[in-house]
Amino acid sequence: MHASQSTTTRREEIRAALSDIAAPSLALVPIGVLFGAVATAEGLSAAETMLMSGFVFAGGAQFAAIEIWADPVPVAAIVFSTLLINLRHVLMSASLAPRTGAFATWQRIVGFHFLADETWALAERRAAAARLTPTYYFTMIALFFPTWLVTISTGAVLGARIGDPQTYGADFAFPALFIALIAALWKGPATGVVVAASAVAAACAAWLFGPPWHVPAGAVAGIAAAALAWRPDPLKERET
């Protein structure tokens, strides 16, 4: 009786996870193909592209790394920009950690490698409505992670045959994607201040010193602008 009950629950968990992660996985397909193609065109081998995709598994940071990739590889700038872009994971994992009571320690240690914007958001939503189980979480990842790897390797194989990306405007795909990502993060005028400060500082740094200095210059300027522009919110203050 107990066994059959837990089997049913398990099947329901798997079904819920698959139906929740289906749309984000589908949205990942063109992005993955694009990443693979342009990474190859930028000079990364297929092996390097796949190593990065499996072990970093963070779209925004990977796109940024390819954008500043050069010969010789600016290792420090790439690692620094990756750290900055992924700092948000600290908040995401701190928020999800208390909801993983059903996880074994090794399941947290392995599972949190796969914390992406999409899987984190779905795990949080699940935890708000029910107990977050390892079955649900790892089922999501079992679809989402291979989708990332398969689409990127497809893009890498195609990309090697496409040739100069500039002919097709493919070099502009990353800037365009980043504009859309920034728009998705938009939270009103406060974000406008950040974007304006970062854009001006980055353009000046690139013009004066060349790449990759535009990344730390723009990042620091944008963050400083947000701190300077901050004003206490009277509504929030009253609540606390």
Residues from 79 through 118 that contact another protein (CB under 8 A): 79, 81-98, 108-109, 112-113, 115
Contact between 218 and 201 (Cβ < 8 Å): yes
Restricting to residues 191-210, which ones interact with another protein according to CB under 8 A? 191, 194-195, 197-203, 206-207
Binding residue (CB under 8 A) for another protein from 46, 121, 143, 149: 46
Contact between 155 and 40 (Cβ < 8 Å): yes
Binding residue (CB under 8 A) for another protein from 146, 222, 238, 239: 222
Binding residue (CB under 8 A) for another protein from 37, 52, 122, 123: 52
Q: Is 24 in the site for another protein (CB under 8 A)?
A: no
Binding residue (CB under 8 A) for another protein from 10, 60, 102, 135: 60
CB of 42 to another protein, least distance (A): 9
Binding residue (CB under 8 A) for another protein from 17, 61, 140, 141: 61
Distance between alpha carbon 1 and the CA centroid of its chain, in Å?
Answer: 43
Q: Site mask, another protein, residues 137-156, x = CB under 8 A?
A: --------------------
Q: Is 218 in the site for another protein (CB under 8 A)?
A: yes
CB of 98 to another protein, least distance (A): 5
Binding residue (CB under 8 A) for another protein from 16, 58, 122, 140: 58
Distance between alpha carbon 125 and the CA centroid of its chain, in Å?
Answer: 18
Q: Is 67 in the site for another protein (CB under 8 A)?
A: yes
